[in-house]
Amino acid sequence: MLCCAPEDALRRGCWRKLICGASNQDLAAITDLAWVYTRAGVHCIDVAPDPAVVAAARQGIAAALRPGQPPPWLMVSLNDDTDPHFRKAHFDPRHCPAGCPRPCEATCPVAAISPEGVATARCYGCGRCLAVCPLGLIEERPWRLERSQLLEILEICQPDALEIHTRPGAVAPFTQLLTLLQPLLPRLRLLAVSAGGPLAQLIPYLWQLHGLLVTQSVSHLWQLDGRPMSGDLGRGTAHGAVALALGVSRHGPPGLLQVAGGVNRHTQTLLQRHGLVGPGEKAPAVAGMAFGGAARQLVSPWLAAAQARGRPLHQYPDLADVAVGQAQALLSLPADPRA
Ligand code: SF4
Ligand code: SF4
The tally of CA atoms less than 13 A away on the side-chain side of residue 200 is 0
Q: Write down the pLDDT at residue 294.
A: 83
Counting every residue, how long is the chain? 339
**92, 104, 107, 118, best to mutate for ligand 2 pocket (most atoms within 8 Å of CB):** 104
Q: Atom 2 (ligand 2): residue with closest C-alpha?
A: 133
- Write down the pLDDT at residue 338: 45
CB contact at 8 A, 158 and 183 = no
Residue 296 confidence (pLDDT): 87
The sign one gets for the Cα dihedral 335, 336, 338, 339 is: negative
Do 209 and 248 form a contact (C-beta atoms < 8 A)? no
pLDDT of 235 reads: 56
Q: What is the DSSP string of 150-185?
A: HHHHHHHH--SEEEEE--TT-HHHHHHHHHHTTTTG
* C-beta separation of 103 from 133 below 8 A: yes
200/3 Cα distance (integer angstroms):
36
Q: What is the mean pLDDT of the chain?
A: 87
Mean pLDDT of 17-39: 85
CA of 105 to the centre of ligand 2 (A): 8
CATH 3.20.20.70 domain position(s) in the chain: 6-83+146-331
Q: pLDDT of 249-260, one tens digit each?
A: 999 999 999 998
pLDDT band at 3 (very low <50, low <70, confident <90, very high): low
Instruction: Report the separation in Å between the CA atom of 124 and the middle of ligand 1, taken as the mean of its atom positions.
Output: 6
Instruction: List every span in the chain annotated with CATH 3.30.70.20.
Output: 86-144
Helix H or strand E encompassing 215: none
CA of 310 to the centre of ligand 1 (A): 23
What's domain 6-83+146-331's superfamily in CATH? Aldolase class I (3.20.20.70)
Fold of 86-144: Alpha-Beta Plaits (3.30.70)
Contact residues of ligand 2, CB 6 A cut-off = 91, 96, 100, 102-104, 133, 135, 137-138
What pLDDT is stored for residue 144 in this prediction?
Answer: 66
Q: Of residues 96 and 87, which shows the higher confidence score?
A: 96
pTM of the model: 0.79
Q: How does pLDDT run across 137-149, given as a tens digit for each residue?
A: 999 887 766 777 8
Tell me how far apart the alpha carbons of residues 259 and 249 are, in angstroms, rounded to a whole number: 11
Amino acid at 124: Y
